[in-house]
Amino acid sequence: MTLALEVKNVIKSFQSDSGEIRAVDDVSFAVEAGEFVALVGPSGSGKTTMLSILAALLSPTSGQILIDGVDLANMSEAERVALRREKIGFTFQSNNLIPYLTALENVQLMLRLNQRFDRAGAVRSAELLSRLGLGERLNNLPAQMSGGQQQRVAIARALIHNPTVVLADEPTASLDTERAFQVVQTFAALIHENNRAGIMVTHDLRMCQYVDRVLQMRDGKLVKIFTSREEILQLAKGE
Amino acid sequence: MNNLSLATYLSWQEVWRNRGRFFLVSLVIALITLLVLFIAALGEGLGNANSQYISRINADLLVYLEKSDFIIPSSRVERSTVRSIRRLDGVQDAGGISTSSVAILLPDDEVLKVSLIGVEPGKPGDPAVTEGRNLAGEQSKEAVIDLNVIQRSDVRVGDLITIRATQGTKDEFFTLRVVGSTEGQLYSFQPSIFVPYGTWDRVRAKSDAELDSPSSTVNVVAISLSDVSAAQTVSDALTARIDNVEVADLQTAVENVPGYSAQQSTVQTQAVFTLLIGVLVIGGFFQIQILQKVPQIGVLKAIGADNFTVGMAAVIQIIITTTLGVAIGSSLAFIFSLTFPPTVPIVFNGLNSAIAIAALLLIGPAGGLVSIFYAVRIEPLKALRLS
């Protein structure tokens, strides 16, 4: 297996009136290509800050984040923008899609951003959306789709350009239970199938049944890593 | 280049998919355009109506009585002075010009008030005719009329016209034959008729004191130069060698026609304020739009769109909306202009309209500057509420 992402001793601290706050405190882990990992923890545990750092949206105070062996901690802003475009796929909690682009155009946008949009890319985008059950919705605008359908379009957009790492921030937050399971299951399948490294931040432990590993954070620290299937299923069942 | 095409793609898709909203903004810009173009045309029309004869006169300099402040009705120059001016080096020719106001009697007891301009036939100040012939003779009972007179009455070249002038306390009537027509000769907000100086002095409005003595003065003297580039030299020589006169070029003469500068500055102020309102309207619209789009711009930046793409998409959107609005407004202005009678002082001058349109096209990006800067400064982390 190839290491897609390596996080080494990452610290992110903020200054507040009461002094320094460590939102991420000396966190280290690695994710291999084809591995789907959940980052869980209570509110304020630092998981969203960790995700922002992995997405090159936030610089760590110290430590290293290597994507395909390249450290993004020392990159310029322009390099980070290029990295987000080329190496990272991203889905958010909500407001995921560009409202004036159709489902197909939203997916193709990643190819256009990467100057890789051509006839083959257009076909591939449509196929991926069809694979996600949206074959009839290709020309629908986001407002004409349900929350689950929008999340699936966002997943397609996050994968279409073959990024090294796919990040998902609470992808099921605005979905009902049935839709949430469907979305995460599809997401996991595509991560494995396309051999990408996937990291999902979630507070809904039930979703962990579809991941290969669970990283649990508390107070900015990585406190536990669940690797065995039994442990993960127990966690998902809330036992 | 790819970023530019991506920005164009994004902005066009947004405009097209929200065409109702953007079209409404374009209509607001169209109305502002219509207003600005009409104000510019009104300025041109009023300026023309007041000073068209002076601005198009076949002369290079005008000579006034000293301390008349270049006001034509206040100026009185002796006719003998005209002869002295002709003898000066650099002066090709000179002709006296006298102005007054009379009424032409029309059928059904209607009258058309006109500027009565006395000129020396064949000399500077005598306008070129477009139909018929020029004036001939110092005392001949004939007139050349402005095309505006023809448009506002049934008078044609070859007709006899009766003019009414108040002389002393009585209305006197004179008959003149129209021998030619000229165009673009409005003066003092009235169409003009041109008569030889001797005829002018006989038929003009006079006070009691002027009734028995023929006038020995003209209002101003129009000078054509042998060499236009020597205008300043001739002007200096003229004021040095001839007593009690001052000299103005045509620009100064036009600007000092009574009411001209006050009118133009008023109209220009209106135009500037209308443009400012345009900047505020467009700026306000795009600022509100950007505020509504913060999460969407955050997504774009988070997935790798750079600031150039985001900023340029906003610029292109503003340009599309403004251009559409200006095009609609200009077309409406053109259509409306065809419906105005010649008495309405609205004149669409190509250059002025082009300047107004250029200014209108610039107010879009100018108004949207704040929103463009705002869009570029949006941080994806905050926009997506990840921080």
Q: What is the pLDDT of residues B270-309, one digit of tens each?
A: 888 988 888 888 888 888 888 888 888 888 999 999 999 9
* C-beta separation of B154 from B106 below 8 A: yes
For residues B221 and B77, give the distance between their C-alpha atoms in angstroms, rounded to a whole number: 7
| Number of domains comprising chain A | 1
How far is CA B332 from each of CA A156, B142, B167, B177, B336, rounded to the nearest angstrom?
47, 43, 48, 42, 6
E strand segments, chain B: 61-65, 77-78, 91-106, 110-119, 131-132, 142-146, 160-167, 170-182, 192-196, 217-218, 220-225, 245-249
* C-beta separation of A35 from A89 below 8 A: no
- Grouping H, G, I as helix, E, B as strand and the rest as coil, residue B127 is coil
Binary contact (A82, B380; C-beta < 8 A): no
**Residue A232, domain CATH:** 3.40.50.300
Residue with tokens 């800050």: A49
Q: What is the pLDDT of residues B302-357, one digit of tens each?
A: 999 999 999 999 999 999 999 999 999 999 998 988 888 877 888 888 888 888 88
CB crowding B93-124: b at 16 or more within 10 Å, else e: bbbbbbbbbbbbeeeeeeebebbbbbbbbebb
Least confident of A136-140, B97-101, B107-111, B254-258: B107-111
| Predicted local distance difference test score (pLDDT) of residue B278 | 84
| Number of domains comprising chain B | 2
Give the domain range for residue B102.
67-243
Total residue count of chain A as it appears in this document: 239
CA distance B362 to chain A (A): 27
Domain shared by B329 and B369, yes or no: yes
Nearest to B386 among A57, A101, A113 (CB): A57
Instruction: Say yes or no: B2 contacts chain A, CB-CB below 8 A.
Output: yes
* Mean pLDDT across B192-205: 93
Q: How many Cβ atoms sit within 10 Å of the Cβ of residue B327?
A: 16
CA distance B254 to chain A (A): 56
Q: Which of these, B376, B272, B283, B354, lies nearest to B321 by C-alpha position?
A: B283
Residue with tokens 């984040």: A65
* Mean pLDDT across B123-148: 93
Binary contact (A86, B380; C-beta < 8 A): no
* C-beta separation of B143 from B174 below 8 A: no
Domain shared by B222 and B265, yes or no: no
Give the domain range for residue A28.
3-237
Binary contact (A115, B2; C-beta < 8 A): yes
CA distance B371 to chain A (A): 19
ipTM: 0.89
Domain shared by B236 and B148, yes or no: yes
Q: What are the residue ranges of helices labelled H in chain A? A: 47-54, 77-87, 103-113, 119-131, 147-159, 177-194, 229-237
Domain shared by B73 and B215, yes or no: yes
Domain shared by B204 and B79, yes or no: yes
* C-beta separation of B302 from B108 below 8 A: no
Q: Are strands B170-182 and B131-132 parallel, antiparallel or unpaired?
A: antiparallel
